[in-house]
Amino acid sequence: MKNMTRKLIVFVFFIFSVMGNAQTYKMIDTADYLQRKEFLKNFAGNNEGFIKKIRSQYSGKTGSELSKIYKEFGNDFEKQVKNKDFIFKSEFETEIETLIQRLRKNNPRIPQDLKILVARDNTPNAYCLADGTFVINMGLYNWFNSEDQIAAVITHELGHKIDEHSLKTFLSIIEQNQLDKIAVQNLKETTANRSQAQNKKAFDILKNRAYKKGVERRQQEMQADSLGYVLFKNSDFNKNEYVNALQRLQDFDTISPRQLKIETYKKLFDLPKQAFNEKWMKKEDFSLYNYNFYKEKLDKDSLASHPEMSRRIEKLKKTFPELKTSVESEKPSETFTSLKKMARMEILPNYFHSEDYGLGIYASMQFLQDGEEDKYYKGWLGKCFTKIYEARKNYNLNRYLDRIEPKNQSESYQQFLNFMWNLSLDDIKNIADFYQSS
């Protein structure tokens, strides 16, 4: 089952954004077979060349394990490209290349071989692969307020690449695996109190390894923040937009989803041939569940790969005093505003592409609740319900719709999930048919 809970917050900021005209909006063309084919050919060659370079730098078991890791990463990434998870030759790509050119002017450390890809992903994120492929999620344009904030994320990821954090992480994992094997072998040779002693020592190995990895990753994030900011301030962007970008990401981590009103359900699902049924809104009673029964043995906070944004911002301001004074955000350019509108209109197509049909329904309902682009979002409501109907009929609905988790989901989303699971197969088909034909 897909975990869609974190993705819910993507809508919150969008509800208040300037809307595009859905009646005339033309969806991004994904008929880019030739571009994908050419990219895959170049990527395979570049990745193979990188692996050969790694083998020449690291001999023996280390070189072999590194080669295996990068090969698996490459294969997984190629599958994503073939699955059309990225768009090619788009307005987004052109604008991102322009931002990187601005960053390069006073930053010779920025690699010259970066290749830009835009992902059909609504979460605000970016990453850079070993061969220089730089991936920007479309969600950054939905969540951020200016091109300067996009540039800030780019420099942070460039900080990771310049410091070779991925390579260092893989080397650390390989080294730790070898140490763990030795420790496990020593455990096997233990005879006194074998079972209890081994269990405790095995857990200690796991705990210490997890804590160590958490510390290393947090340190890398802080290092990438600092190096990224140096690259950023050397360019012609508003320095404080670097902190503002981190603040927006903190909002993404903490903000709650907007509430779907009961009236919205009644308005959307009281149909001519199927009256609204109050039983659909019945909520499961979790009051008898004891969620404190199982205690976590590990400190979750110490295992987080990203330190809290407030700590990262505090560290930056301490290191770079000029960031202590808050400055009003830059006004976005017309190009950024246009891309922001486009990314907004692609939210539903992106969820549909990633087969997040339940989340697509929830998003459509939120947009419709606020009176946005009625025909456009009702059309996507029908498409997503059709897919949910097919999944329900084929007994694999869990793949596309979350189960209720009271500790991890908002009241609004729990109510939505109750509603969806309460619908019968015929109920779902009637709703799908109505909105597909409307």
CA distance linking residue 438 with residue 427, whole number of Å: 17
The pLDDT tens digits of the residues spanning 313-362 come to 999 999 999 997 777 777 899 999 999 999 999 999 999 999 999 999 99
In the predicted model, what is the mean pLDDT of the chain?
84
The residue ranges of every structural domain in the chain are 33-140, 256-291+331-437
Predicted confidence (pLDDT) per residue in 43-91, tens digit: 999 999 999 999 999 989 999 999 999 999 999 999 999 999 999 888 9
Percent of the chain with pLDDT over 90: 61
* Residues 54/232/345/254 CA torsion (nearest 10 deg): 90
Q: Which DSSP helix (H) or strand (E) runs through 243?
A: helix 241-254
3-state secondary structure of 333: coil
Tokens of 90: 């788009």
> What does the pLDDT read at residue 208?
63
* Span 390-421, pLDDT tens digits: 999 999 999 999 998 887 788 899 999 999 99
pLDDT confidence of residue 342: 93
Tell me which residue of 2, 58, 7, 1 sits closest to 413, measured CA to CA: 7
Q: What is the mean pLDDT of residues 177-181?
A: 68
Q: Which contiguous run of DSSP H or E holds residue 117?
A: strand 115-119
- Given a contact cutoff of 8 angstroms between Cβ atoms, the answer to whether 336 and 95 are in contact is yes
Q: Per residue in 83-105, pLDDT tens?
A: 999 998 889 999 999 999 999 99
C-alpha dihedral over 227, 233, 239, 242, to 10 degrees? -30
Q: Which residue has the higher pLDDT, 290 or 127?
A: 127
CA atoms within 13 A on the CB side of 97: 15
Is the pLDDT at 233 greater than 90? The verdict is yes
pTM, whole model, 2 decimals? 0.82
